[in-house]
Structure 1
Amino acid sequence: MLLPLYPLAGQEVVVSVSIRDGVTRGDEHFAALRADSALESYRGTLVSEPDRFDALWRAARAAVSVGMLEPDDDRSAEWYDLALDFADRAVSVEPDSAAGWQWRAIATGQKAMAVGPSRRVALSEQVRTYALRTLELDPGAAGAHHVLGQWHAEIQRLGGLTRFAAERLLGAATFREASWTEALRHLERAVELEPRAPIHRLALARLLVDRERPAEAIRQLRTGATLAPAEPTDPGHLEEIRDLLADLESGAR
């Protein structure tokens, strides 16, 4: 499950100069597409202020990025575990802040893709819960809309037997609520909220392909291909956008 890495608006807090400098350095590294350096800066801040909320959710974001950029699946899972630790701590520090819940949802979603089927089902249920909680706190959280859109889409993509097993044998009762309509609604909202995030347009385009709407997918991809990378995983998403666009355009000729 590809998931968004863009932070929520309005999550800054007032901190001391020394702590703020560490977070600022991390943000600079992140904007320069250096996820590993950003993570180290945030972790340095947390050494002296372990409950610093703005450093915790940013550390979760950076760890997710490092995991997504890691070619080895086992190593990726370790980074997602680290991201979950930071996100869980963020939620513990500020349980009514959307940023902690959003990165909890994202990190859990990434972790779900790195484990076996039965464990994946349990984690998928958590992903939905965390994303819904995020939207209760901030209906404009683009990352949570992306997560929910992907949740609906991935379940709809399951084969009939696999979905039956998940619902009946593994207890995934919420899987019955999945729909293409909700997948489209959430992913379109994510694009609307963060139009310059390549990952949202890529996910929406893939959904449109699934729904046999290639012309609309091509429009999303053409716009996505013009975007500049703003976060560490954006270059990879832009490459996927260009590859899918080339495939669709060749098929449309």
Structure 2
Amino acid sequence: MRAQSLLTPAGPTARPWTPLPYTDVVRFEAGDLLRHWTRLHAGQCLPPPAPGSLAEGWALYHSGDFERAAAVGLAHGSLEGHALANQATAIYANYVEPREGTRLALFREVADRAAAQLAQEPDNCHALYWQAYALGNYSQGISVARALAQGLGSKVKHMLERVIELQPGHADAHIQLGVFHAEVIDKVGPLVARMTYGVRADAALRLFERGLELHPDSAVGLMEYARGLLMLDGDSQLPEATRLYEKAAAIQPIDARERLEVELARAGLED
């Protein structure tokens, strides 16, 4: 049975993808992955791939060759391959793709592919998380208020809550759910957020803190916590938000994704 799309169908996304803007990122080989896997995937609970083409695809992903990594994942033709394709596509769209229309189309692509996975494996945490990630970023692109009106916010919330229920150690899901709580409160106010969406400021803070407890060196987690504090409490939290950004900017990145996140933190400090 064909999975129903949650979004307006997207046409083919533009190719080729924009290259990573850094030439000094560490290049991984498939044989390196097992040794570094725990550190590379500290934010998630993802088992390492078996030796072969999928491991080579993950090495491409961590080296910043997101387009080739996604192609390898799709060519693998399995749920595990789609997991790689979803992650590579979503991270590329969020941090590298400069064209807003293409970014949104890529997020729609990830959301629909994850929906097809979930039709086969409803409790596949990787598919749940990356569908929520894609829908969350798509919602930001079209405006959080508009996304809430379309019902996307509730879907994101329920998906992330299910990930945490299935994998309590999934740091990234805690952070993203904290982001959802903070953004909804920022857009509709604390009373409507609580009554309509079941969202609370204290829950947001607990989610950020738990996510960083699970993955203390998450640059994106530190930045999202900083943004959340500013959305929830305004300029009174600027010193703490700055401290969190400084901590994120000081992290030594292990792969291409972390390099992109750390550079974003450094740019944020300059603004």
d(CA) in 2 for partners of 1:218, 1:124: 28
Structure 1 229/173 Cα, relative in aligned 2: closer, same or farther at 3 Å? same
| TM-score of the two chains, using structure 1 as the length reference | 0.78
Q: Which residue of 1 aligns with 2:228?
A: 207
* 1:34 paired residue number: 65
**1:90 and 2:114 matched:** no
Task: Give per-residue Cα distances to partners, 1:114-147, cap 9 Å, x unaligned.
Answer: 3364344311111001111111111111121112
Cα deviation for residue 105 of structure 1 reads 1.1
Is 1:154 paired with 2:183?
yes
SS at match of 1:229: coil
Query: TM-score, normalized by length of structure 2?
Result: 0.73
Q: Which moved more, 1:115-124 or 1:179-188?
A: 115-124
Matched, 1:197 2:218: yes
Paired residues of 2:245 and 2:265 also in contact (CA < 8 A):
yes
103-112 or 85-94, which deviates more: 85-94
Match of 2:166 among 137, 160, 164: 137
Distance 1:200 1:135, change over 3 A: same
Q: For 2:157, give the aligned amino acid.
A: R
Q: What is residue 186 of structure 1 aligned with on the other side?
A: 207
After superposition, residues 1-253 of structure 1 pair within 5 angstroms as 8-12=44-48, 20-46=51-77, 52-68=78-94, 69-115=96-142, 117-121=145-149, 122-158=151-187, 160=189, 174-175=196-197, 177-210=198-231, 211=233, 212-246=236-270
CA distance in 2, matches of 1:147, 1:87: 17
Q: Give the direction of change, closer, same or farther, for the CA distance of 1:61–1:243 in structure 2 (3 Å limit).
A: same
Task: Give the CA deviation at 1:98.
Answer: 1.8
1:202 CA displacement:
0.5
What count of residue pairs does the alignment treat as equivalent? 225
5+ unaligned residues in a row in structure 1: which ranges? 15-19, 47-51, 248-253
Identify unmatched segments of 5+ residues in structure 2. Answer: 1-40
The alignment yields a C-alpha RMSD, in angstroms, of: 2.7
Give the Cα separation in 2 of the matches to 1:38 and 1:89.
20
Distance change >3 Å, CA 205–CA 25, structure 1 → 2:
same
SS in 2 for 1:213: helix
Identity among equivalent positions (%) equals 23
Contact kept, 8 Å, 1:22 with 1:44, in 2: the verdict is no
| C-alpha deviation, 1:12, in angstroms | 4.3
Residue pair 2:163, 2:173 contacting (<8 A) in 1 also: yes
| Equivalent residues of 2:129, 2:160 under 8 A apart | yes
